[in-house]
Amino acid sequence: MDQTAAGSGADLTLAHLVKDFGSFTAVDDLSLVIPSGSFFALLGPSGCGKTTTLRMVAGLERPTSGQILIGGRDVTGTRAHQRPVNTVFQSYALFPHLTVLENVAFGLKRTKAADPLSKAGDALDLVELRHLAERRPTQLSGGQQQRVALARAIVNNPAVLLLDEPLGALDLKLRRQMQVELKRIQTEVGLTFVHVTHDQEEAMTMADTVAVMNEGRIEQMGSPAELYELPRTAFVANFLGQSNLLRGTVLDAGKLTIGVDIGGTRVRVPSPRAVSHSGTVLVGVRPEKLHLVPDDEDVPAGTNVVGPGTIVDVSFTGVSTQYLVEVPGHGTMSVFVQNILGGVGARVGDQVRLAWAIKHTFGLDGADDLAAGAVDLDGEA
């Protein structure tokens, strides 16, 4: 391990990284820079190449071509045990023949660090498990094993900490708790965290920067809010939260907005928020940005309106109500209405129009697949 590269984290640079498995390209010319001290999430469905990318950074997989640099030093040709990188494995991979404390001290002993056991004890304090130090991993619950795996990686003070779906095996409540905990620990130790997950909520909750991966490439990268408010591909729009996407044709392209004809209705999209300014485009809007407007009510200026349509489904979830509205010519659109007034406002069968602020509209390339990246309700791709 190179002690100079370790410390409070280091930049991780991937340059034109490619990994082929036979004729299948798992990672396809991937380039990105993850700044030191950041919490970075690689988000994508299973099989998108995110875990392969992580394993290449860890040194457990050799790239077909491209470079990996940690803190400016090329580590592409080095072996896993020579890299200042530690991994929290998906299944934790704790050593069953060692106690919790010995597990955590394993890396320190290999690097001949001074006083490995007391440092390991401190790391167990960080994850609040000091009292279980003498137990065997099999005697711990899933959540506790997860913390031990985290302590075992963090204690080495790696330049980059890799987390491979670390919360995948935990139940929902524990997962929420660990999300908060992971974020706290990252802030406390200040290491560079690279987190691989298929759970968009997990990625958005914890990461400063999220890269959405699909078929070995990065679709889009940015802060969670950026990605959510302004997706640049249909895949991102559907994979990260939900979107209503409507296919249309550009009528006029102005300086501030472009006008798009969608099934006979003219809507406007702010020019900077549109990927494409001519031909066929997709017009998108997030469900919570939509308002239900009764047929006879006026809409304010600066608003796009479609409809009227018929409400075909109402699901009340407490915090909000989801309406599915069948709009002739546009298909089914989804609307989230926050529960501010109390109770459900509209009923199945009601005729409504859908309105939203022009500034919330985004425009995508018309060649994108409308359903790309749409996921099942349980969040598993």
Which three-class secondary structure string do you get for 145-180?
A: HHHHHHHHHHCCCCCEEEEECCCCCCCHHHHHHHHH
The least CB distance from residue 109 to another protein, in Å, is 9
* CB of 89 or CB of 336, closer to another protein: 89
Alpha carbon distance 7, 153 (integer Å) = 13
- The piece of 88-96, 140-148, 186-194, 245-253 that touches another protein (CB under 8 A) is 88-96
Task: Draw the binding track, 99-118, toward another protein (x: CB under 8 A; -: no contact).
Answer: -------xx--xx-------
Beta bridge partners of 164: 196
Q: Say if residues 295 and 308 touch (Cβ distance below 8 Å).
A: yes
Query: 108: which residues sit within 8 A by CB, 6+ positions away?
Result: 116, 119, 120, 155, 156
State in angstroms the smallest separation of the CB of 182 from another protein.
18
Q: What are the residues facing 238 on neighbouring strands?
A: none
Q: What's the min distance (Å) between Cβ of 299 and another protein?
A: 57
Binding mask 138-177 for another protein (x = CB under 8 A): --------------x---x---------------------
Instruction: Tell me which residues in 285-314 interact with another protein (CB under 8 A).
Output: none
Instruction: Select from 82-90, 127-135, 172-180, 340-348 the region that touches another protein (CB under 8 A).
Output: 82-90
First to last CA, the chain: 37
C-alpha 90/C-alpha 175 separation (Å) is 13
Question: Angle at CA 167, nearest 5°, toward 152 and 93?
Answer: 40
| Strand 209-214, strand 217-222: pairing | antiparallel
> Which residues, 120 to 139, sit near another protein by CB under 8 A?
136
Q: Give the integer Cα–Cα distance in Å for 14 and 49.
A: 14
- Is residue 151 a contact partner of residue 104, using CB atoms and an 8 Å limit? yes
Nearer to another protein, 106 or 336 (CB): 106
Nearer to another protein, 96 or 343 (CB): 96
Q: Taking the complex as a whole, how short is the minimal distance between the CB of residue 123 and another protein, in angstroms?
A: 13
The residue among 87 and 361 lying less far from another protein, judged by its C-beta, is 87
| Single-letter code of the amino acid located at 144 | Q
Site stretch for another protein (CB under 8 A), options 54-62, 140-148, 289-297, 339-347 = 54-62
d(CA 53, CA 55): 5
Q: At closest approach, how far in Å is the CB of 87 from another protein? A: 5
- Residue (102 or 368) nearer to another protein, CB: 102
User: 62-81: which residues touch another protein (CB under 8 A)?
Assistant: 79-81
Which chain residues interact with another protein by CB under 8 A? Answer: 1, 58-60, 79-81, 85-87, 89, 91, 93-97, 106-107, 110-111, 136, 152, 156
